[in-house]
Structure formats: C-alpha cells, structure tokens
Amino acid sequence: MLKRSKSKVTLKNSVSSPDWFLVSLVLGLTIFGIIMVGSASVVEAFRDFGNKLHYLRLQAIWAAFGFLAFCFLSFFDYHHLKKFAFPLMVFSFICLILVLIPGIGTKIMGARRWLPLGFFGFQPAELTKLTFILYLALFFSNRRKFWSFLFLLGILLFLIMLEPDLGTAVILSATALVVYFVSGAPLLLLAGIGLAGVLGGAGLIFSSSYRRERLMTFLNPSQDPLGASYHIRQILIAIGSGGLFGVGLGQSRQKYEYLPEVTTDSIFAVIAEELGFIGSLALVIIFLMLVWRGMKIAKEAPDEFGKLLAVGITSWIGFQALVNLSAMVAIVPLTGVPLPFISYGGSSLVLCLAGMGILANIARQKVIKR
C-alpha cells in the first residue's frame, strides 16, 4: 500500500474477478457478428460452395479460436507480455515484407494483403495492429524518444501502403498518436504530426488513380452509378431500405448480389437493412460502451505499461469501428476496413478477441482508490 501525502489518496493494487461488463460486450458483439455473417452470406455461400451456412460455420470456428485466445490472455499476466513485445514486432515486420513478395503473398483485387497458410489466408496487417500497440506501450512506458517513434511508425506505414491498405494506415497512425499523447507528449507536437499526416494522406490519394476515383465518388456519389459509385450507392440503398425497424433478420434484398463485399466491409449495410435504425443505433451504442469501458480500465491500470496498453487496444477498436461505420454512411470515402467482431474474417476476429483478452487482464489488476 502506497500513501501520497499531497493528495491524501491511498492506492491499492487488487487482482479482482473478471470484468463481466467487458466480457458481456465482447461476447455479445461476437455472437451478433456470427449471426449477421450467416444472414449476409447465404446467397454468396450457396453460389460459391453450394452450402448456405459455409461462411457462418467458418466464422463460428474462428470465434472459437478467438475466445480461446481471449480466455488465455485474460488470465495471463499482461506484464509478462513485455518480453514478447520486440520479437512480435520483428515477426510482424517480416510478415509485412513477405506478403509483398510475388509467389508468397496473395494478390486479390489489386491488393497484396494475405499470406496463404493452408486452408486460410492470414493478414499480417491485422497482427501488426496488436503487436505495434504492445511495443508502443512498452516503448513509451520506459522512455519517450520522438524520432525513434516517428521512424518506426514511418517504416510500418510505408510497408502497409505498399499492399496498399490506406484504411489500416489511418487506424495505426491515429492509435499511435493517442498512445503517444497519453504517455505525455506535447499537444503542439502531436498537432504537427497530425498536420503532416493529413498532407501525406492527401499526397497518397492524388498520387493513385483508384484513390482519386474513390475521393471523387465520395464527393459526388451520383456520378457513374454503375461503375465507380456503384458500391456506395448500393450501401445507401440498403441502409435507406431498413427504415426505423428494418425488413427483418434474414430478409435483406441487397445481399442478393447487389451489395459488394457483403460479408466483410459492407456488413453494416445489411445490419441496417434488416434491423433498421433502431438496430444500427444499438450496435453503435455498444461500441461506444466498449470504448468507454476500455478507457475506464486504462484509468485504473496499476502501471504506465498497463495504462498505455489499454488505451492502445481501446483506440484501435474504436478507430476501426469509426472508420468502417463512417464509410458506410458516406461520411468518409470507402476503405477496406472490417467492422471489429462483426465482419467475416479470421485474422481480424481472432486478433480483436486476443486484444480484448489483454484488456480484460488489465481490468483484473486495477488500482483501487480508497
């Protein structure tokens, strides 16, 4: 027990029972995601595999693996993760390089983001989100060297943009800046980095024809309705068709090969169509509660490493949900970012659940003010 004479506050470390509120939110989102993947994928699964439940079955399997990781990490003392931070960061770098090599990385729709591992494809960028947060938490809890941080972030963003994956680059940058800010970085310095990032992002957009096309489509969704703006128009049709209460679970019409990326990036459009504004609002509120809970856990963390780790994991999930949902309602241009816990995909689901497991372990070792 440590007493501070100035604040007259007694702090006591306590290993408590699991944070059931956090567990309930994570479990609810994952189960809901499995249900919605099953609903959104029936047409595509039957067309490609002759089995309407193909994607639902795979998502359930990934969820099982993810919950094993969640359970293990929720009871595994997060302090022991310090010794794995650097090796995992190096492994992530190697994977990000391997995915760019023809013959090793798999290229789909112009993007090289997957490493084929037998019966599934692994996305190194998803692993990098978690390992980078882990490394940053350790890095900033020991020291705060601006140029080292900027160099590491720059190398990561360079490799990710070679895939290319602008959405992940934005999420990583925003998360890293939040962790840096919480570690005590000057606000003026962060503003400068943010401005440089915006200018760099603008340069990347205008240097690529398909990114320019996405931006033009975002600014004018009515142009080229059967070409460049087809995707966002179908998303908005699905969301608008849902009305207040939706057309009913499993009754989406847009999933009948009208809506591209129906099980991954665009799954929120199916949710909005089937469950309406009320169902969509409930999902947004649950994500907000998850972010609030994560920040509360960070505030009660017993040390700087735990605080920064909790802030990083929470920011990652929050920013990723924000980018996906904003794209779905045409607030930002479309990006290939999955909705955490909801979109189909093993890499994203397992690693999101692993991150939540670490957050749950930090919650169990909170500091109690008495």
Q: Which of 136, 128, 129, 133 shows the shortest CA–CA distance to 185?
A: 136
Question: What are 180's two structure tokens?
Answer: 């840096």
The residue assigned the tokens 């931070």 is 85
pLDDT level of residue 121 (50, 70, 90 thresholds): confident
Q: What is the 3-state secondary structure (H, E, C) of 39-98?
A: HHCHHHHHHHHCCCCHHHHHHHHHHHHHHHHHHHHHHCCHHHHHHHHHHHHHHHHHHHHH
pLDDT in tens, 308-323: 999 999 999 999 999 9
| Domain that residue 266 falls in | 2-369
pLDDT in tens, 249-259: 989 898 888 88
Q: Which residues of 5-37 are buried (b: 16+ CB within 10 A; e: fewer)?
A: eeeeeeeeeeeeeebeebbebbbebbebbbbbb
Omega before residue 164 within 30° of 0, cis: yes
Q: Which residue has the higher pLDDT, 119 or 104?
A: 104
pLDDT of 82 reads: 93
Question: What are 136's two structure tokens?
Answer: 């940053």
User: Would you say residue 369 has pLDDT above 50?
Assistant: no
How many domains does the chain contain in total? 1
pLDDT of 227 reads: 59
pLDDT level of residue 2 (50, 70, 90 thresholds): very low
Mean pLDDT of 29-45: 94
> Residue 55 CA to chain centroid, in angstroms?
20
pLDDT level of residue 102 (50, 70, 90 thresholds): confident
pLDDT level of residue 365 (50, 70, 90 thresholds): confident
What residues contact 296, with CB distance under 8 A and at least 6 apart? none
The mean pLDDT of the chain is 85
pLDDT of 69 reads: 96
Element containing residue 367 per DSSP (H, E)? strand 367-369
pLDDT level of residue 278 (50, 70, 90 thresholds): very high
Instruction: Tell me the pTM.
Output: 0.89
Task: Quote the Cα angle for 84-90-96, to 5°.
Answer: 130
pLDDT in tens, 325-351: 998 988 887 777 899 999 998 889 999
Check if the beta carbon of residue 124 is closer than 8 Å to that of residue 92: yes
User: Would you say residue 213 has pLDDT above 80?
Assistant: no
User: Rounded to an integer, what distance in angstroms lies between the CA atom of residue 351 and that of residue 128?
Assistant: 10
3 state DSSP class of 336? coil
What residues contact 120, with CB distance under 8 A and at least 6 apart? 346
pLDDT level of residue 6 (50, 70, 90 thresholds): very low
Q: Measuring CA to CA, how many Å separate 190 from each of 56, 160, 183, 315, 320?
A: 42, 22, 12, 16, 20
pLDDT of 353 reads: 97
pLDDT of 224 reads: 58
Mean pLDDT of 51-73: 94
pLDDT of 210 reads: 61
pLDDT level of residue 191 (50, 70, 90 thresholds): confident
Mean pLDDT of 86-90: 93
**Lowest-confidence pick of 179-188, 189-198, 285-294:** 189-198
Mean pLDDT of 224-248: 82
pLDDT of 220 reads: 64
pLDDT of 1 reads: 36
